Amino acid sequence: IYIPHLSTRMALDEVRKWRQRYDGIRVETCPHYLTHTEDSDVGPIGKANPPFRSADDVAALWAGLADGAIDIVASDHVPRKRATKEKTIWLASQGFPGTATILPVLLSEGYHKGRLSLERICALICAAPAHIFDLEPRKGRIAIGVDADLTLVDLTKERVVRADELGSYSDYSLYDGWTLKGWPVKTIVRGM
Positions annotated as catalytic residues are: 76
105, with CB counted inside 10 A (0-12, 13-18, 19+), is buried
- End-to-end CA, the chain: 35
Distance (Å, whole) CA 97 – CA 171:
9
Distances (CA, A) of 38 to 35, 44, 56, 65, 87: 11, 12, 11, 20, 18
How far apart CA 103 and CA 83 sit, in angstroms, is 26
What is the residue-wise DSSP string for 113-146? TTSS-HHHHHIIIIIHHHHHTT-TTTSSS--TTS
Give the contacts of 14 (CB within 8 A, at least 6 positions apart).
none
